[in-house]
Copies of this chain bind each other. A is one copy, B any other.
Amino acid sequence: MEEEDAAADPYLPYDGGGDTIPLQEIPKRGSNYAMSNGGGAPSSTTHLLDFLEEPIPGVGTYDDFHTIDWVREKCKDRERHRKINSKKKESAWEFTKSLYDAWCSGRPDRHRRRLDERPEGGRVSERHVVQPRAVLLDVQRDHLRRAGQVPSVEELGRADPGAGGGPRLVHHELLHVHLLGSVVRLPRRLSGQGVRPIKTILSGFIIRGYLGKWTLMIKTITLVLAVASGLSLGKEGPLVHVACCCGNIFSYLFPKYSKNEAKKREVLSAASAAGVSVAFGAPIGGVLFSLEEVSYYFPLKTLWRSFFAALVAAFVLRSINPFGNSRLVLFYVEYHTPWYLFELIPFILLGVFGGLWGAFFIRANIAWCRRRKSTRFGKYPVLEVILVAAITAVVAFPNPYTRQNTSELIKELFTDCGPLESSQLCQYRSQMNGSKSFSDNPNRPAGPGVYAAMWQLCLALIFKIIMTIFTFGLKVPSGLFIPSMAIGAIAGRIVGIAMEQLAYYHHDWFLFKEWCEVGADCITPGLYAMVGAAACLGGVTRMTVSLVVIVFELTGGLEYIVPLMAAVMTSKWVGDAFGREGIYEAHIRLNGYPFLDAKEEFTHTTLAREVMRPRRSDPPLAVLTQDDLTVEELQATINETSYNGFPVIVSKESQRLVGFALRRDITIAIENARRKQEGIMLNSRVYFTQHAPTLPADSPRPLKLRSILDMSPFTVTDHTPMEIVVDIFRKLGLRQCLVTHNGRLLGIITKKDILRHMAQMANQDPESIMFN
């Protein structure tokens, strides 16, 4: 029955007798596994203690700046579910608790909770202090590094060749350094984030305190100020961030979500849908935005929940009725004429413009942000904001189209000229004569007002384009939807008016002759503005379906689905021709977040063994053997290395893999054993097997660590193409994967190894990954 392994193990029999097939272990979690314990093996009742043992508190949690393991988190949640379901029959009280859990809160897992309340004696206070401090970390790190106080990521990286992640000591050092007089800088550097870090967090990265109450308060206040300032920015990014803060804070009320990082991310996905829903009153667009753009792991269950969150958000928004009418729709339009087939040509041209603008904007904005990051200029963010605001104010004021609120500008551009419209854009000559009503004379030669408006719109277009490039990425909360839509709407309206005049003066052209009756009004400039807005937004974000839905919900223009779709598709194609990244991905890469993009395909032919650690010149892989280490040796291994986890093997000779143990879990388990178990000495034997190894009579009590051993580590062979490995990491959300060759352990691949490798393949600096 012993499972430990000799190198020259005899042939593992499959011939039905099967005594040595290790099937006799009783599954840990009380399954309905009913195989008889035959085969003459000694009964395992002596080991029944094993699964009565309490779980070790703290095992299975994460350090800051680490990546979560989706598979493990989801398992934990299902485990919790099962526990509640099996207990629910015991008493009415447990049944009530199960209902409470189902009603989206959840029964606290006592053991886990205990960890957080009094982890290792007296650290409670520290935890509460660390959290707000940790906010500063991201914010302050590059700041301090420039001042030479903190080791750069490259230096950290060198200390950490295998499994990624910051070493603990350095990390605490950092926290300490950061505390020195940096609280006042918090609001200044925390700003200007929005959708991008949310994407990173949703992909499984842990940034503690980034979605906390301080962020919520500061973001809320500054967003109001920023939008009111008249800068060329929108509000959807900050609102998504604010919604995620709310989601995160609410999730702390329900241990089911706060204790499980994967479940928490489901809440955040729904929150981001609600954020877009309130930003534009577009609930379905919000859900699709969350699906297409923000989220990483989006099961159908999350789709329904996001839908519900967006519904409630839209409902509350409607009850408050902020726009003072009973409509949810922000820019409601109603056009009186249908569109004609030949108009697809200008619509597609608008799509081309949108794509070009998007590609240009992304390049220019990223270049500017890189300059800001890499030069001394970035040290004066407040000055920069003041400067940009001042320039915006001075330049924007003279032109009526830049002076007014951007939302109102878009509304005006979208609106068709009716008889009651007093806008400058509607000063056609027929109206100026005054003798006839509008509907009697649909011929619309442009009047001087329209000509003036055209010039002003052209100037406004140039102004908006330039200012948006410099504004997005400023240290203020800033979104992109409204400025992008404004640019598109201006361009679209210009094209629309041009088309209209063309049709008026050349109504005998074959195109117009066929579609436009003489004397009839056949071009709607407002529709062009709407199409242009969608195209420009599509060029910048590269969204498709969610974008069209958002535009629907904004305008109610359901009849114009084909023009919108055509323009958005064109815009995406043109934009993708100049670079596949949307603005959010580009900024994530600029900031060096460890984000494994689900959209980008990995097309290189490298194999797993070329990416795995250890490399040729590296020291050997740090492994643990399953039953012949002492506590002292184990601690030495942990102290000498900085890896986040260690593979456990049968023996050094066979190199056959048994499982994987996380550094954090081992440390916690040893500390816990020292406190609670008597007789654990430095020379105690550590074993990961089911049964204790046979020891000499005088040896101290051995320490069993099987409960922290992950007995189902993911493995791939060394011949596995990296494209498959990347796919597995993406779809399953892995943290690491072990590499074997012919059943022997060869190395390890972590998520950060993959990101480094991908950067290398794309000829980027691999060290730019991870918080630079």
Contact = CB atoms under 8 A, between A and B. Distances in A.
Contact of A603 (B12, B81, B606): B81
Contact of A598 (B33, B284, B300, B713): B300
Interface in A9-24: 9-16, 18, 21-23
A717 B713 contact: yes
Contacts of A12: 655, 744
A728 B71 CA distance: 10
Contact of A558 (B13, B558, B598): B558
A94 interface: no
Contacts of A743: 650, 654-657, 740, 743-745
A319 B292 contact: no
Interface in A75-94: 75, 78, 81-82
A71 B338 CA distance: 47
Nearest to A283: B561
Given A303-B292, A744-B743, A552 B558 contact: yes
Given A15-B620, A311-B562, A75 B724 contact: yes
A8 B7 contact: yes
A655 B727 CA distance: 28
Contact of A341 (B9, B21, B319, B713): B319
A607 interface: yes
Interface string A553-595: 1001011011001100100100000000000000000000000
Q: Which of A544, A659, A743 is most buried by chain B, counting CB atoms within 10 A of its CB?
A: A743
B300 A599 contact: yes
B31 A606 contact: yes
Contacts of A314: 561-562, 565
Contacts of A558: 329, 552-553, 556, 558
B607 A33 contact: yes
Interface stretch (A149-157, A251-259, A608-616, A693-701): A608-616
A746 B18 CA distance: 11
A559 B307 contact: no
A3 interface: yes
B732 A604 contact: no
A110 interface: no
A652 interface: yes
A535 interface: no
Contacts of A341: 319
A548 B727 contact: no
A712 interface: yes
Contact of A307 (B74, B545, B719): B545
A23 B616 CA distance: 9
Nearest to A608: B712
Nearest to A564: B311
A224 interface: no
Contact of A283 (B18, B308, B565): B565
A459 interface: no
A657 B415 CA distance: 69
A545 B75 contact: no
A718 interface: yes
A389 interface: no
Contacts of A713: 717
A731 B734 CA distance: 13
A716 B721 contact: no
A336 to B, nearest CB: 12
Contacts of A15: 620
A294 to B, nearest CB: 12
A347 to B, nearest CB: 12
A326 B338 contact: yes
A601 B14 contact: no
B569 A78 contact: no
Contacts of A711: 717, 719-720
Contact of A559 (B30, B82, B327): B327
A422 interface: no
Given A18-B616, A610-B35, A284 B599 contact: no
Contacts of A721: 75, 712
Nearest to A712: B720
A5 B724 contact: no
Contacts of A75: 721, 723-724
Contacts of A561: 283-284, 314, 328, 553
A417 interface: no
B327 A603 contact: no
A742 B307 contact: no
Contacts of A553: 558, 561
Contacts of A14: 614, 619-621
A267 interface: no
Interface string A418-443: 00000000000000000000000000
Contacts of A654: 9, 743
Contacts of A30: 605
A718 B315 CA distance: 50
Given A549-B284, A566-B311, A544 B304 contact: yes
A617 interface: yes
A279 interface: no
Interface in A278-317: 283-284, 287-288, 292, 299-301, 303-304, 307-308, 310-311, 314-315
A757 to B, nearest CB: 12
Contacts of A46: none
Given A284-B561, A744-B656, A605 B82 contact: yes
Given A558-B556, A653-B10, A565 B307 contact: yes
Given A27-B607, A78-B603, A657-B743, A544 B303 contact: yes
A33 B311 contact: no
Contact of A284 (B23, B548, B606): B548
Contacts of A552: 284, 552, 558
Contact of A742 (B5, B31, B318): B5
A283 to B, nearest CB: 6
Given A14-B614, A307-B548, A558-B558, 13 more contacts: A12-B744, A35-B610, A75-B724, A82-B605, A288-B545, A304-B544, A307-B544, A311-B566, A553-B561, A556-B558, A654-B743, A743-B743, A743-B745
23 contacts: A7-B9, A11-B652, A12-B655, A12-B744, A16-B617, A22-B741, A29-B605, A31-B610, A74-B723, A74-B727, A284-B561, A288-B545, A303-B544, A303-B545, A307-B565, A311-B569, A315-B566, A318-B562, A549-B549, A656-B743, A715-B715, A740-B743, A743-B743
